[in-house]
Copies of this chain bind each other. A is one copy, B any other.
Amino acid sequence: MHKTRVRVVEDALDANNTIARANRADFDAAGLRVVNLMSAPGAGKTTLLERLLAHGLGGMRVGVLEGDVRGSFDADRLSALHVPVTQLNTDPGFGGECHLDANMVRSAIPALPLDEIDLLVIENVGNLVCPAEFRVGEDARAMLSSVTEGEDKPLKYPLMFRACELVILNKIDLLPHLDFDVDRFLANLDQVHPGVERMLVSARTGEGLDRVGDWLAREPARV
């Protein structure tokens, strides 16, 4: 039974990848860099984007695709910064999915102002498991881990930490008040994804965000 289930999962991922390639072709045709931003709930994806967008990204025109199970709370926060934000809810149409997949992103493409932006940030549903399994047509993937979540997360959710080109360790302003050991976290990270690019930041104070902004605005490195 397990073998059948594994095959069904593999077929679903194959189908997803086919649609992801179609999305990617559309994004490429529009000359767009696309970043898939992932994390656990509450790790600070939206706050990070708020800070970066308020600061500007070297003149780049940025759009955001907001993935949520329900509601548009994050989209409302980001719209206040006068960037185009498109909401994608996984609840009504898709049955309460815990991640975005390529087909959901495809359904949102007609609503995206592809010709008016240079960078599209896709803020995925807060979850450290399934978002890592579904490519959506992005050029690169970044994930946030917050110091309040503990040093063990790379070992417990290895696929997520392996499936990205950048790991952002957020909320470092709280380090003085926690037992979090940064070196142990980085050693755990290197155990599952040796040498992956990593940045220590505080979206709240702004520390380290310049480097994240540079990375986001980087020329598409086709992965």
Residues in chain B near residue A2, CB distance under 8 A: 93-95
Query: From A145, which residue of chain B is reached at the shortest CB distance?
Result: B42
Query: From A129, which residue of chain B is reached at the shortest CB distance?
Result: B98
Q: Does A9 contact B (CB under 8 A)?
A: yes
Query: Interface centre among A93, A95, A125, by most B CB within 10 Å?
Result: A95
Residues in chain B near residue A93, CB distance under 8 A: 2
Query: From A150, which residue of chain B is reached at the shortest CB distance?
Result: B42
User: What sequence of 0s and 1s flags, for each residue 99-141 of chain A, a beta carbon within 8 Å of any chain B beta carbon?
Assistant: 0000000000000000000000000011111100100000000
Query: From A149, which residue of chain B is reached at the shortest CB distance?
Result: B42
User: What sequence of 0s and 1s flags, for each residue 192-204 of chain A, a beta carbon within 8 Å of any chain B beta carbon?
Assistant: 0000000000001
Q: Does A184 contact B (CB under 8 A)?
A: no
Q: Does A222 contact B (CB under 8 A)?
A: no
Size bin of chain A's contact surface: 35 or more
Q: Does A5 contact B (CB under 8 A)?
A: yes
Q: How far is the CB of A101 from chain B (nearest CB, A)?
A: 12
Q: Is the CB of B148 within 8 A of A174?
A: yes
Q: Is the CB of A146 within 8 A of B42?
A: yes
Chain A residues 65-84 with CB under 8 Å of chain B are: 68-71, 73-74
Query: From A177, which residue of chain B is reached at the shortest CB distance?
Result: B177
The chain A residues found within 8 Å of chain B, CB to CB, are: 2, 5-6, 9, 40-42, 68-71, 73-74, 93-98, 125-130, 133, 146, 148-150, 152-153, 155-159, 171, 173-174, 177-179, 204
Give the top 6 A-B pairs by smallest Cβ distance, nearest first: A42-B149, A98-B129, A148-B148, A40-B41, A9-B95, A41-B128
